[in-house]
Amino acid sequence: MVGRPRIGVLALQGAFREHARMLRDAGADVVEVRLPEHLEGLDGLVIPGGESTSILRLASLYGLDDAIRSFVGPILGTCAGMILLDRAHLGLADLEVDRNAYGRQVASFEADLELEGEERPFRGVFIRAPRVREAGADVEVLAALEGEPVLLRDGRVLVAAFHPELTDDPRIHERFLELVTEATSVRA
Ligand code: GLN
């Protein structure tokens, strides 16, 4: 990778514009991904929050599900994106995830999250968030809320149950871009 990393944002449904803005501000060039060929030459990919059933339906209509399964770079999945990456869907993160697992009363909420290795909390915006039921042995927990993992890393895949793109705090996107820089220097 020379210069700015090229990051794709799956732009079928959901909060893709917000991710694109955060990534540009954090120093990336952003490509909106709507077709398999848009994945070519990307250094990383973001799967946004939204409605996982709609995103998955559109992705399989365009052949993007298989294309994403063969994508080799780092991937960030937030909320619905985390659901899509789990064992039951694209199978790229060793996680079992429950959709809409917080009861109706607490379906959407905000909470300060302690980020591993950082003093300042991260404001987590949870909107009908998924919950991790089980994580494989190699999955690292980077933040938890009341004992439940909400930010996790499985190798090149980073997933958040919340919406970092709906805050002004770039730290999750910056961590993702660090993963991208590491991965591209290993491949170079
Ligand atoms: N509840 C949504 C789903 O099941 C995810 C919500 C979100 O991405 N904010 O897909």
Answer whether residue 188 shows pLDDT above 80: no
How do residues 36-62 score in pLDDT, each as one tens digit?
Answer: 999 999 999 999 999 999 999 999 999
Select the more confidently predicted residue: 106 or 38.
Answer: 38
Minimum-distance ligand 1 atom for the alpha carbon of 78: 8
Query: Rounded to an integer, what distance in angstroms lies between the CA atom of residue 43 and that of residue 29?
Result: 10
Q: What is the average pLDDT across 107-112?
A: 93
Residue 158: which CATH number?
A: 3.40.50.880
- Residue at 1 is within a domain: no
- Residue at 139 is within a domain: yes
- Residue at 40 is within a domain: yes
Q: Ligand 1 center to residue 82 CA distance, Å? A: 9
**Any residues with CB less than 8 A from the CB of 91 and at least 6 apart, and which?**
69
pTM of structure: 0.95
Minimum-distance ligand 1 atom for the alpha carbon of 50: 8
Select the more confidently predicted residue: 177 or 184.
Answer: 177
Query: Rounded to an integer, what distance in angstroms lies between the CA atom of residue 72 and that of residue 32?
Result: 18
Q: Residue 54 is part of which domain span?
A: 6-187
Q: Ligand 1 center to residue 21 CA distance, Å? A: 20
- Residue at 13 is within a domain: yes
Domain count, the chain: 1
Answer whether residue 182 shows pLDDT above 90: yes
